[in-house]
Amino acid sequence: MRPRRAGLLVALLGTVGGTAAPPPASAVETLSHETLDHIWAITPDPQHGEILYLMHCRACHGNHGWGDGPRAIPALAGQRERYLVLQLTQFASGKRAGQSMHETMRRADLDWAQAVRDLGSYLAAAPRSPGPEYGDSRSASAGKGLYQQACSGCHGAGGEGAKTGVPAVGGQHYRYLLAQLSNFSYGHRGAGNLQLSESMGAFTPQQLQDLANYVSHLGYLTADRPP
């Protein structure tokens, strides 16, 4: 989010009845019929993505895309773009659980490829949060060995993820991280993550807390780590 532009954009949205431009009548299938490669090939319009974000996302994820730690709502600003596009597509198609996200992504001005491409492009380049929520279970270094053992091979030493679609996790909110790690440990994030589910399933609840706390301190998604 560009904070200095928020007021202008909100005013602009009000003048057009609070709706973003819907997809043209000639638009192709809804997201449930699109492939990631097709969506990724579209030229993005981040300014349109910003309007979509203000309309549909800021109520939960905040004006700047910084999430809400106490409510376990993730920070999105600065996240890997391909990962964002993939997750939005999976929410729209029902492949990823999340009732509120399903309802949001079914809206006509979001349930098409260009909208998801625009939204992902805007969020990936948005200024990062001043800092996440941290855990209070022991020191931040308690989960370092666990992270190096189970996570750094994919997510990187600093939690930076990868352009190929591996999400950045460093500097994400502690409670959100803990919730997702717990979901993986119980097998609630889908069969496609079987290896990750098996890894997290081997950890104790305390180890999951230590891991989430350590990752929240890595800082990739925070303002002190530029894109």
Predicted pLDDT at 19: 55
- Tell me the percentage of the chain whose pLDDT exceeds 70: 82
Q: Do 96 and 86 touch, CB atoms closer than 8 A?
A: no
Is it true that domain 3-125 has CATH number 1.10.760.10?
A: yes
Q: If you average pLDDT over residues 99-126, what whole number do you get? A: 94
> pLDDT category, 45, cuts 50, 70, 90?
very high
Per-residue pLDDT reduced to its tens digit, 185-218: 877 665 456 677 778 878 899 999 999 999 999 9
Binned at pLDDT 50, 70 and 90, residue 160 comes out as very high
Segment 24-50 mean pLDDT? 82
Per-residue model confidence as pLDDT tens digits over 51-67: 999 999 999 999 999 99
Average pLDDT, the chain: 85
Tell me the whole-structure pTM to 2 decimals: 0.85
Q: Does domain 140-216 have CATH number 1.10.760.10?
A: yes
Which pLDDT belongs to residue 118?
98
Rounded percentage of the chain residues whose pLDDT exceeds 90: 64
CATH 1.10.760.10 maps onto the chain at 3-125, 140-216
Q: What is the pLDDT of residue 220?
A: 96
Per-residue pLDDT at 1: 41
